């Protein structure tokens, strides 16, 4: 089974259980914390992905880092450790957030640009994404100068890359393939 489908299944099962226990919102906050923490911490990413580090050490580190997490979140971490899938914890967190937002009829459009969005441009993007999805949408703008220009838009599992860097990479591939 590919990692993406496995992450979706873990997220869906966790969401179903959290809804049943009326803790979906608390678990969603935990998932946002987990996703942000792992994304910002390269050492933690390395620890989770390392086949050398024992599961017990990973468990102790995760339970210490996320000690304020809901019991359902801690149960997810334990299950993923038991199944040797802990390396995809960040992906499961992202998938949980997406599932939770869809359940609430909301979505987040992640827009990566080389410079911050102007309010006018943000409104145009918001209108287009709302029209396309039919859901209430909020925009999160991330500035990444490495894309040079254009934008990368991600809504749920769909991504549209209209960045200059992506177009340049496409041209580079075309040139190297034609030689």
Closest by CA to 137, choosing from 147, 125, 152, 148, is: 125
So what's the architecture of 3-101 in CATH?
Orthogonal Bundle (1.10)
Segments of the chain assigned to CATH 3.30.910: 107-178
Cα separation, 48 vs 144, in Å, equals 26
Segments of the chain assigned to CATH 1.10.520.20: 3-101
Share of the chain above pLDDT 70, in %: 98
pLDDT band at 10; cut points 50, 70, 90? very high
Tell me the pLDDT tens digit for each residue of 100-154: 988 887 778 889 998 998 889 888 988 888 888 887 888 888 888 888 888 898 8
Tell me the pLDDT tens digit for each residue of 72-105: 999 999 999 999 999 999 999 989 988 898 888 7
pLDDT of residue 23: 92
Has this prediction a pTM greater than 0.75? no
Q: Any residues with CB less than 8 A from the CB of 76 and at least 6 apart, and which? A: 10, 14, 92
Q: Does 107-178 carry CATH code 3.30.910?
A: yes
Neighbours of 83 (CB within 10 A): 10
Cα separation, 37 vs 32, in Å, equals 8
Closest by CA to 35, choosing from 65, 5, 64, is: 65
């Amino acid at each position: 089974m590919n990692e993406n489908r496995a992450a979706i299944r873990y997220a869906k099962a966790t969401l179903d259980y959290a809804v049943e226990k009326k803790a979906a919102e608390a678990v969603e906050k935990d998932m946002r914390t987990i996703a942000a923490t792992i994304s910002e911490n390269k050492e933690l990413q390395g620890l989770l992905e390392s086949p050398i580090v024992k599961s017990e050490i990973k468990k102790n580190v995760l339970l210490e880092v996320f000690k304020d997490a809901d019991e359902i979140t801690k149960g997810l971490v334990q299950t993923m450790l038991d199944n040797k899938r802990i390396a995809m914890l960040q992906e499961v967190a992202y998938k949980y957030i997406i599932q939770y937002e869809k359940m609430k009829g909301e979505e987040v459009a992640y827009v990566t640009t080389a410079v911050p969005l102007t309010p006018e441009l943000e409104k145009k993007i918001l209108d287009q994404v709302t029209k396309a999805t039919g859901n209430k949408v909020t925009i999160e703008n991330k500035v990444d100068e490495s894309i040079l220009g254009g934008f990368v838009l991600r809504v749920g599992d769909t991504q549209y890359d209209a960045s200059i860097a992506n177009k340049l990479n496409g041209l580079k591939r075309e040139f190297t393939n034609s030689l």
